[in-house]
Amino acid sequence: MQKILTIFFLLFVSLVLFGQAKPDWIDNDLRNANFPPTVFLTGFAQRMVEKGISNETEQVKLDAQADLTKQIRLMIKTKTQSNISAQSINGQYSERESFENKSSAETNIEINGIKTETCFDQKTNTVYAFAYVNKYELIGYYKNNLLVNIGQVDSFVKTAKDLEANNEKAKARQQLENTQPLFSKIRFAQDILTVLDNNISIEDLQQEKIETLYNVSTQMQARLAQAVYVYVESNEDLFGQKVNIVTNKVKAELAKNGCSFVENAAQADFKLKINVSIRITGNFNELVFCYADTPIELFDVQKQKTVYSDEISEKGGSDTQEKAGRKAIENAASQVIEKIKNWINN
């Protein structure tokens, strides 16, 4: 009995070590039979074990996935070149071509839903990997992905329009910058759907809506690029009370001329420094008189130099100290505007 058990154990070990059945996907014909190209996209890789089974297994999995994605990239490239050639022949090498070329740059987008299996053959000391994904599941995913990204772009563009209408051009520009990676994702989704679904239509691909959004975004970006962006650093002291009287008046006036204001100095075309301090000069007939001393400095970022600096002192009078100081600041604000507005051209 013990001899029989020993023989059985040795047979079991032999089966584990050397007799493991290889999966069908290792054989090319069986792979195509079980995962027909009409339904699946597949990738295959193998590698001799040299640095340890765990390291090689992980690498061969990546190789198989790369083989799959490489095929998709090639299909997309072939389709794109074919489209561009057709458009050129038909004399339609314009807005659509521009959108395709500018928004279909190579991205690191991963193909969603790839499954990967591995197998190690001890006899040959080789590790194999097989990557596969169902085309129809992929089509469903990227149809939804397309709609989600279009919705996000549409939201960013609408917000940018509202911000531009309110003269908040820096914020509008940021909203439009947020659309750029989304356009790449949209183009990628369109490409995937086009090469996988022979029955996909222009309507399904949302082509007209996407091109409209792209053109609106591009035109707005070009328009906003002509705007002047100003960073204001201010310190206004009204007898110990922090105020923004000069700053607010300067911003309101410059905004009329198309300027926009940024909170990050690195984004500015001009940097404006404003400091205001109040001094009492006297009393007369129950009126208090003050001066607002206002040093200002305007720095041109492009020229990398200070283009204007001055210290403006304006007088104000009222029945209280605070009112007199506030009046002096308001008078100083008018002078600051007159002094700097010609230096900032939109």
pTM score, whole prediction: 0.64
Write out pLDDT tens, residues 134-147: 999 999 999 999 99
CATH class of 228-340: alpha beta
User: What is the Cβ-side half-sphere exposure of residue 237, based on CA atoms within 13 angstroms?
Assistant: 9
**C-alpha triplet 247, 249, 253: angle, nearest 5°:** 115
Which strand (E) or helix (H) includes residue 160?
A: helix 135-165
Determine the Cα–Cα distance for residues 262 and 47; give it in Å rounded to an integer: 55
Write out pLDDT tens, residues 215-247: 999 999 988 877 788 999 999 999 999 999 999
DSSP 3-state of 264: coil
Q: What is the CA radius of gyration of the chain?
A: 34
Write out pLDDT tens, residues 182-196: 999 999 999 999 999
How large is the average pLDDT for residues 82-87? 56
| Residue 80 structure tokens | 């794109």
How large is the average pLDDT for residues 159-165? 91
Determine the Cα–Cα distance for residues 63 and 67; give it in Å rounded to an integer: 6
- E-strand ranges in the chain read 40-48, 115-121, 126-134, 228-238, 241-243, 259-261, 270-284, 287-300, 305-318
How large is the average pLDDT for residues 168-177? 86
Q: What are the domain boundaries of the chain?
A: 15-134, 137-225, 228-340
Write out pLDDT tens, residues 282-291: 888 889 999 9
How large is the average pLDDT for residues 269-277? 94
Q: What is the pLDDT of residue 74?
A: 86
Judge contact between 283 and 293, C-beta under 8 A: no
CATH code of domain 137-225: 1.20.58
Determine the Cα–Cα distance for residues 278 and 329; give it in Å rounded to an integer: 8
DSSP 3-state of 276: strand
Nearest to 329 by CA among 297, 294, 295, 305: 294
